[in-house]
Amino acid sequence: MSSKMNRRSFLTAGAAAGAAGLLGGALLTSCSGGNKQKPLREPGTYYIPELPDKAIDGRPLKAGLIGCGGRGNGAVNDLLEAADGITITALGDVFPDRIEATRKAISENHGQEVPEDHCFTGFDAYQKVIDSGVDMVIVATPPVFRPVHFQYATSKGVHSFLEKPICVDAKGYRTIMATAKQAEAKGLSVVTGTQRHHQRAYVESFKKIQEGLIGEITGGNVYWNQGMLWYRERQAGWSDMEWMIRDWVNWKWLSGDHIVEQHVHNIDVFTWMLGAHPVKATGVGSRQRRITGDQYDNFSIDFEFENGIHMHSFCRQIDGCSSNVSEFIQGTKGSWNSQDFAIRDLQGNILWQYDEEAAKEQFTQHNPYVLEHVDWVNHIRKGEAHVEAAETGQSSLAGTMGREAAYTGNTVTWDEISASEMDYMPEKLELGKMNMKAYTVPVPGTGKEA
Amino acid sequence: MKKRGIIWSIVIGGFALAAVLVIAFANVDSRTVTNDYCMSCHSHEEADRLWKQSPHHLSKSGVVTDCAACHLPPKEDGLNRYYMIKLKMGAKDLWAKTFKNPEDIDWASKRQQDYAQHIVYNSSCVKCHQNLYPEGISDDGVAAHLHYEENAEKLNLNCVSCHLNAGHYIPGYTHQKLKGTVDTGPGEIYEAPATVEHFESFTETVPGTNAAIRMVAIPGGEFLLGSPENEPRRRPDEGPQKRVRVSSFFMAETEITWRQFWSFYNETMSEGRTPPSVIYAANSREKVDAVSGPTPPFGFPDQGWGMGERPAITMTHYAAETFCQWLSLKTGKTYRLPTEAEWEYAARGGTSTPYFFEGNPKKYAPQGLRRLLGGADTTMIARYVIYEGNSPARTLEPSQVKPNPFGLKNMLGNVMEYCADYYAPDAYDHIQDGAVDPKGPAKGSEYVIRGGCYADAADEVRCAARRHTQHDDWLRTDPQNPKSIWWYSDIKGIGFRIVCEVPETIE
């Protein structure tokens, strides 16, 4: 912290000295940026969210929640903090106990009573929630279901908040891409849970990078290394399907594996900043200490983009190992990273850094999970179309491409994965027996499709 | 003062003239893009009738899309381009109206994709069709349009490659996946294959189908492979000439027809996609009891030209080889694609001239100014060959031509034919004089194709002219991944002809 203060006082002193005309012009231009920067993209060609502390007032809105797990409950809290005049009017989940707990929490925390006849259970609960007369819906089920739920909401003209990732396979990706266009045509507001897009420090960094402060992007590293996530042991009386869904972050078909389910955040930061999706992926991954399910617990992927740009993606969910959740981007003139939200030149001098103190003076709301809902509601209330699903669809497919590269041991191209017949959705959705033998941990190089 | 007055009147007059010109120009521009205006000169009565039956006239929304909306690029693409193209089309049609008889114009050929892609602009399509993913679009459709959006420029993809009937009705046209089996028409279902006891022509009868294939006995012999250096329009890969010998074989009288190909398809096709590696492995086992055949094609493999006795087209080299494998299994004989040497030997039928009939490629295919003058007598070539000069921009039935000295039809023209050999430009360098049954290089990536097709100029259909497959380019529109191993999406004039090895039991 003290070193940060030092840097800042150095910068201030430098600026003052420059103003006093004590320093040469060369240093000034390299420090103040300005005229020598070539923007990566022209202003106006990329989206910068407005991030007021709270959503504008407007017509009262009815919101539904599909998927009453931890994230769904969190999203309800964030939405109600983000905006006034919003009522949660319908809940949907596969399990009644989840609905009951959520209903109770909403009553206790927000004083809103969701009518019992607007609480729906089962795999088709999403249709009932959407058809119950809601304006907007939070979709926070396990990700494999996201494309179908988004498609249905859009067909009914309902605005969606889609928790990330928004697809875990090729079929789902295509549904997302098509539905995103349809949502746009209908003027809907669709925000995805890649909340870094609504995090002030990231948004300011994004602006600087687009203005050209690090030059052309030449590569990067992105990380989500943490300890074990969570798992559920199977309980007596649970069917195969019930266990899988309650333990969903450990099963490929439900979560897309952790490179998609969790690490998509970091991959997405790189594709967001670069403005392009990767064209191929080669990588390794394995399962060392995961307890349930059929997923890996570590991946290391080399993503290649057009023009030979490489980005290394690295994710791990193993206890007792070093942690790092961040992104680093290298450009021709400097680099940026999200550990201290600073841009350094090629000599290591700090050219720019996110000014948290200044932001705190200007705004009161800094929680990106709340701010994404502010943006969502504002677009709905202003009647402006805003659809993030295609961009997040591409980063979700990028994660999927990396996953398949590790599972198979082969280089996987974007053309291959985006046109693939891969479809993780089981033929039959019911709380019953599953062919558990089909859910095995992939072994690279065996030629078997995961 | 006087001088000033003159200057002023010139300036004001100049502005006025400019204003009049601008207004007149705008007026002319807008009046020359109406349908009535188009129709006034372009004697497109049939085009007009078929447009009125097309989705762009009978749209759900009631919106009628005019000629100029598709046949001129959008002005947003650049005014220079817009006016250049407009001027060019206008001039062409004025020429046609003045000097040509509308009845002599082959309108059907203008409906072919080869032509259509030059007079319909992708940017015009997407100017209106901003959402390529309307509600209800199939997953295949989404995949195809994602492929288009990602690769349109890189691969030069065209909207009309799949949507040829968007602007003008084409009976039976579809770009959906073919469903079920294909009707091969009436005819006796054969119970047994032909028995061959002597080296003479026979008709193969494929058991369980109504497919019959006339096989012509080609007695072996010696010939000069390739063309002499002084042959008009010769290309370097046609030499050096080598004197080689080929053994006797049987060769199909015609290119494999749709009826014959669908018989194979109906027995071997599978609806679901299997990874190519699995198919290759299954078909190359030592003892194959049932051949794994094609997946259903998308759209209209015959291009609406007709099936029956017309040559089957657009299948891959692998599909053609698999046809031979299937036929061999059904008949107990050894069918395969011809080697390049066998093909040329059969095509020449004992001749050593550019064609197996009389004629000079330079005269049949004039270039430069001579082309404008035209006038060469093409009676001879037109008798034997379906090529640019006499085809209606599509294949024709074999009954339209006379056979070569061996009794084979359409060796030159109609469709290009696959050979078994890999292509190499220097293949003949590696063949010894006196070689018996020479084969092409052991390794390669593209195959030899021979004979030229309906769209080729006369010099491309010489006996010695060599060409090769262009695998990736011929699949550029295919949105699937892995791409089809059975059907090409971007080549029309390709087919094949089979040979049968002489059974050892025959003298």
Residue A170: CB atoms within 10 A of its CB come to 24
A-chain residues near B150 (CB < 8 A): 414-415, 418
DSSP state of A34: G
A-chain residues near B481 (CB < 8 A): 415-416, 418-420
Mind listing the pLDDT tens digit for each residue in B421-462? 999 999 999 999 999 999 999 999 999 999 999 999 999 999
Q: Which residues contact A36 (CB under 8 A, 6 or more apart)?
A: A29, A30
Section B35-42 average pLDDT = 72
Asked if the model's pLDDT at residue A99 lies above 50, the reply is yes
Mind listing the pLDDT tens digit for each residue in A399-408? 999 999 999 9
Q: Which residues contact A235 (CB under 8 A, 6 or more apart)?
A: A243
Whole-Å CA distances, A163 to A138, A167, A425, B465: 8, 10, 18, 61
SS in 3 state form for B304-337? CCCCCCCECCCECHHHHHHHHHHHHHHHCCCEEC
Percent of chain B with pLDDT over 90: 74
B94-108, B274-288, B298-312: range with lowest mean pLDDT: B94-108
B479: nearest CA partner in chain A: A419
Is A171–B139 a contact, with Cβ atoms under 8 angstroms apart? yes
Section B224-246 average pLDDT = 97
Asked if the model's pLDDT at residue B80 lies above 60, the reply is yes
* pLDDT value at residue A170: 97
A390: nearest CA partner in chain B: B146
* pLDDT value at residue A16: 43
Cα B418 to Cα B343: distance, rounded to the nearest angstrom: 10
Which amino acid type is present at position B52? K
Cα B220 to Cα B218: distance, rounded to the nearest angstrom: 6
**Are the C-beta atoms of B465 and B347 separated by less than 8 Å?**
no
Asked if the model's pLDDT at residue B238 lies above 60, the reply is yes
Cα A73 to Cα B206: distance, rounded to the nearest angstrom: 68
Mind listing the pLDDT tens digit for each residue in B1-14? 466 777 777 778 77
Q: Which residues contact B44 (CB under 8 A, 6 or more apart)?
A: B38, B107
| Residue B134: HSE in the Cβ half-sphere, 13 Å Cα cutoff | 3
Q: How far is CA B231 from the centre of its chain?
A: 27
Is A174–B142 a contact, with Cβ atoms under 8 angstroms apart? yes
Asked if the model's pLDDT at residue B467 lies above 50, the reply is yes
Cα A53 to Cα A198: distance, rounded to the nearest angstrom: 12
Instruction: Collapse the DSSP code of B52 into the 3-class scheme (helix H, G, I; strand E, B; otherwise coil) and give the result.
Output: helix
Mind listing the pLDDT tens digit for each residue in B294-310? 999 988 888 888 888 99
Percent of chain B with pLDDT over 70: 98
- Residue in B132, B135, B275 nearest the CB of A155: B135
Residue B357: CB atoms within 10 A of its CB come to 17
Which of B380, B450, B61, B445 shows the shortest CA–CA distance to B225? B450
A447 touches chain B (CB under 8 A): yes
Return the residue in A150, A177, A179, A279 with the most chain B beta carbons within 10 A, the one to mutate for interface testing.
A177
A179 touches chain B (CB under 8 A): yes
**Are the C-beta atoms of B499 and B251 separated by less than 8 Å?**
yes
State ipTM: 0.83
* pLDDT value at residue B43: 62
- Does residue A31 or residue B250 have the better pLDDT? B250
Whole-Å CA distances, A166 to A194, A261, A371, A382, A421: 10, 9, 19, 25, 18
Return the residue in A156, A173, A401, A415 with the most chain B beta carbons within 10 A, the one to mutate for interface testing.
A415
B480: nearest CA partner in chain A: A419
Asked if the model's pLDDT at residue A10 lies above 60, the reply is no
Phi, psi of B427 (to 5 degrees): -55, -40
What stretch of H or E contains A12?
A: helix A2-19
Section A180-208 average pLDDT = 98
Phi, psi of B420 (to 5 degrees): -75, -25
Asked if the model's pLDDT at residue B252 lies above 60, the reply is yes
Which of B217, B247, B243, B215 shows the shortest CA–CA distance to B228? B243
Distance from CA of A169 to the nearest CA of B (A): 13
A185 touches chain B (CB under 8 A): yes
A-chain residues near B148 (CB < 8 A): none
Asked if the model's pLDDT at residue A1 lies above 90, the reply is no
Average pLDDT of the residues of chain A: 93
Cα B451 to Cα A299: distance, rounded to the nearest angstrom: 53
B140: nearest CA partner in chain A: A419
Distance from CA of A174 to the nearest CA of B (A): 6
DSSP state of A166: -
Q: How confident is the model at residue B32 (pLDDT cuts 50, 70, 90)?
A: confident
Q: Which residues contact B297 (CB under 8 A, 6 or more apart)?
A: B177, B178, B314, B484, B486, B487
First to last CA, chain A: 46
For residue A267, count CB atoms less than 10 angstroms from its CB and return exposed for 0-12, middle for 13-18, buried for 19 or more: buried
B478: nearest CA partner in chain A: A419
Residue B246 Rama label (left phi>0; alpha psi -120 to 50; beta): beta
Q: How confident is the model at residue B374 (pLDDT cuts 50, 70, 90)?
A: low
Whole-Å CA distances, A181 to B136, B160, B162, B424: 12, 22, 21, 47
Whole-Å CA distances, A265 to A192, A215, A398: 11, 23, 11
* pLDDT value at residue B19: 77
Is A178–B143 a contact, with Cβ atoms under 8 angstroms apart? no
A411 touches chain B (CB under 8 A): no
Whole-Å CA distances, B323 to B123, B206, B266, B278, B416: 40, 12, 12, 18, 17
B-chain residues near A419 (CB < 8 A): 143, 146-147, 479-481
pTM above 0.80, yes or no: yes
Q: How confident is the model at residue B15 (pLDDT cuts 50, 70, 90)?
A: confident
* pLDDT value at residue A2: 39
B155 touches chain A (CB under 8 A): no
B-chain residues near A179 (CB < 8 A): 133
B97-101, B117-121, B255-259, B463-467: range with lowest mean pLDDT: B97-101
Asked if the model's pLDDT at residue B375 lies above 80, the reply is no
Distance from CA of B483 to the nearest CA of A (A): 9
- Residue in B131, B142, B480 nearest the CB of A185: B131
Is B480–A171 a contact, with Cβ atoms under 8 angstroms apart? no
Section B136-142 average pLDDT = 94
Average pLDDT of the residues of chain B: 92
Whole-Å CA distances, A115 to A74, A139, B41, B256: 20, 19, 70, 70
Is A418–B143 a contact, with Cβ atoms under 8 angstroms apart? yes
Phi, psi of A259 (to 5 degrees): -65, -30
Return the residue in B61, B129, B132, B133 with the most chain A beta carbons within 10 A, the one to mutate for interface testing.
B133
B-chain residues near A171 (CB < 8 A): 139
Is B133–A155 a contact, with Cβ atoms under 8 angstroms apart? no
Phi, psi of B315 (to 5 degrees): -80, 155
- Residue in A171, A179, A415 nearest the CB of B481: A415
Cα A375 to Cα A136: distance, rounded to the nearest angstrom: 13
Is B146–A171 a contact, with Cβ atoms under 8 angstroms apart? no
Is A420–B132 a contact, with Cβ atoms under 8 angstroms apart? no
**Are the C-beta atoms of B243 and B222 separated by less than 8 Å?**
yes
A-chain residues near B146 (CB < 8 A): 174, 177, 418-419
SS in 3 state form for B172-208? CCCCCECCCCCCCCCCCCCCCCCCCCCCCCEEEECCC
First to last CA, chain B: 113
Handedness of CA B418, B421, B423, B429 (dihedral sign): negative
Is A174–B273 a contact, with Cβ atoms under 8 angstroms apart? no
Could you write out the DSSP letters of every residue in B347-415? Answer: HHTT--SSSSSS--HHHHS--THHHHH-----HHHHHH-BSTTTS-SS---GGGS---TTS-S-SSBSS
Q: How confident is the model at residue B107 (pLDDT cuts 50, 70, 90)?
A: confident
Is B481–A418 a contact, with Cβ atoms under 8 angstroms apart? yes
Could you write out the DSSP letters of every residue in A230-258? Answer: ---PPPTT--HHHHHHHTGGG-HHHH--H
Distance from CA of A3 to the nearest CA of B (A): 46
Is B146–A420 a contact, with Cβ atoms under 8 angstroms apart? no
Phi, psi of B250 (to 5 degrees): -105, 145
**Are the C-beta atoms of B460 and B345 separated by less than 8 Å?**
no
Is B150–A415 a contact, with Cβ atoms under 8 angstroms apart? yes
A185: nearest CA partner in chain B: B131
Edge-to-edge strands of the sheet including B494-495?
B466-468, B447-450, B416-422, B494-495
B-chain residues near A177 (CB < 8 A): 133, 142, 146
Structure tokens at A157: 């003209």
A178 touches chain B (CB under 8 A): yes
Phi, psi of B43 (to 5 degrees): -80, 70
A4-18, A208-222, A259-273, B483-497: range with lowest mean pLDDT: A4-18
Structure tokens at B426: 């220097």
Which of B92, B108, B5 shows the shortest CA–CA distance to B47? B108
A102-111, A327-336, B156-165: range with lowest mean pLDDT: B156-165
Return the residue in B61, B146, B483 with the most chain A beta carbons within 10 A, the one to mutate for interface testing.
B146
What stretch of H or E contains B224?
A: strand B221-225
Return the residue in B481, B483, B484, B489 with the most chain A beta carbons within 10 A, the one to mutate for interface testing.
B481
Asked if the model's pLDDT at residue A7 lies above 60, the reply is no
Which amino acid type is present at position A98? R
Residue B477 Rama label (left phi>0; alpha psi -120 to 50; beta): alpha
A182 touches chain B (CB under 8 A): yes
Distance from CA of B269 to the nearest CA of A (A): 19
B481 touches chain A (CB under 8 A): yes
Cα B55 to Cα B63: distance, rounded to the nearest angstrom: 10
Cα B356 to Cα A161: distance, rounded to the nearest angstrom: 72
| Residue B181: HSE in the Cβ half-sphere, 13 Å Cα cutoff | 15
Helices and strands, number each (H, E), in chain B: 16, 11
Q: How far is CA A370 from the centre of its chain?
A: 14
Cα A164 to Cα A195: distance, rounded to the nearest angstrom: 9
* pLDDT value at residue A448: 64
- Residue in B142, B481, B482 nearest the CB of A178: B142
A65-69, A316-320, B81-85: range with lowest mean pLDDT: B81-85
Q: Please, which residues 416-435 of chain A have a Cβ atom closer than 8 Å to chain B?
A: 416, 418-421
